Amino acid sequence: MQHSIETSKLFSREVDACRICQSKDLHRYLDLGETPLANSYLTEERLGDSEFKESLCIQLCRSCGLSQLTKVVQPDLMFRHYLYVSSTTSTIRDHFAQLASSAVKAAGAKAGDLALDIASNDGCLLKAFEAEGLSALGVDPAENLAAEANAAGLKTECAYWSESVAATLSENHGKAKIVTACNVFAHVDDLQDFMKAVDTILLRDGIFVIECPYVVDFVGKGEFDTAYHEHLSYIGVTPLETLMKLHGFSIFDIEYFENIHGGTIRVYCSRASLRERSPRAAEFFEREESFGIRDSTPYDHFAKSVNENRVALNRLIGELAAEGKVVWAYGASAKGNTLMNFFGIGSDKVPTAIDDNPKKCGLYTPGARMKIVGIEELKKFDVDYLLLLAWNFEAEIRRRCKAAGFKGSFIVPVPKARVVPGEDSWPSR
């Protein structure tokens, strides 16, 4: 149900101080308007209902360099029943297998050591740690996913990560050699409690590994659609190190993955002074100083380019519709829902979205109300263009579409709208 001014107070709170350094020197730079929650998919019976919406606006802390939303939505509205599944794509399965291997080496972990994954989803990373010979334990608030993981034999505690949960798990399972937080750190409002919880369960010589989309790519590559209400923070290593120092930790190594979620950093942390910082980690801090991580200028330029792209993509979709072309979307993703809603593109122009997650098929996307179908539907209809909303998996989508016999073209919307012919002419990004 769409909120009123009164009910919004029950579901959201205003952010007037940085969640890392508490500074109130906050600069708003990208306002995406009022949008529905990006993962609040609709059943056909609910299409007549109004949807809960909240402001989606990002601000920069000019003291520590953290970008963060101006509003925090009550987490139960987003996370208690969750449809994003890590194991859906081979890209992420392979990536997590590599993560587990790298973390084991970095930690010097031995067979039987405990690896704890925060926001473990369906257990994709837990399975990878078990393949490395470790004991694996997950924590996730999504009741549906925790139940599925446990049914598959992957030990998962259904809870939000907190200091009290960490204390209980430490008592019941022992302390962890490795703690991971993949694509969840940005979801957390109370980062101070989050770090206290990590400190509680991590062995003295253990490591804490964070993966998240990189704010320098978010801004530099125009990846505005990574913004949605779940993503409270947009993270660089400079503000992250500020947080680590507050809790007796430091960053000792960083890896970068250009093709994971549009640019992802993997940040290795340990207790301060236990490990020497690697040269490649030092390079990231230098790069952020050159970028201007605390300076509003690059962020304002980014916002300007996003609004220009909004005009360009709407013009392109409108021209194709006027020509009678059939345009579908590929990827009923959270990022796609941000794009469709901020750009104001609805099911009248793009009626259908293909998605590889069977949990979403038969549902409708929030706001735009596109019907979600499987890729097999491509064979039943003459589709001229696919709007590539899940552009972060474009190589894998190319393979799937070719196998399905798709002969049309693709529209890549980020960072600037462009048409790409299908088949073997797909260029690299």
The structural domains of the chain, ordered by start, are 308-425 (3.40.50.720)
Q: Where are the beta strands (DSSP E) in 63-164?
A: 67-69, 71-73, 114-118, 135-140, 156-158
**Half-sphere exposure for 299 (CA within 13 Å, toward CB):** 24
Q: Residue 77: its pLDDT value, please?
A: 87
Q: Residue 423: its pLDDT value, please?
A: 62
Q: Left (φ > 0), alpha (ψ -120 to 50) or beta: where does 296 sit?
A: alpha
Q: Residue 1: its pLDDT value, please?
A: 38
Intervals of the chain under pLDDT 70: 1-10, 82, 84, 423-429
Specify which residues 265 forms β-bridges with.
212, 256
Contact 83, 62 (CB under 8 A): no
Contact 406, 422 (CB under 8 A): yes
pTM: 0.89
Distance CA 366, CA 362 (A): 13
Specify which residues 255 forms β-bridges with.
266
| Dihedral, 78, 84, 85, 89 alpha carbons, nearest 10 | -160
| Dihedral, 57, 211, 221, 384 alpha carbons, nearest 10 | -90
Contact 65, 239 (CB under 8 A): yes
Q: Residue 327: its pLDDT value, please?
A: 98
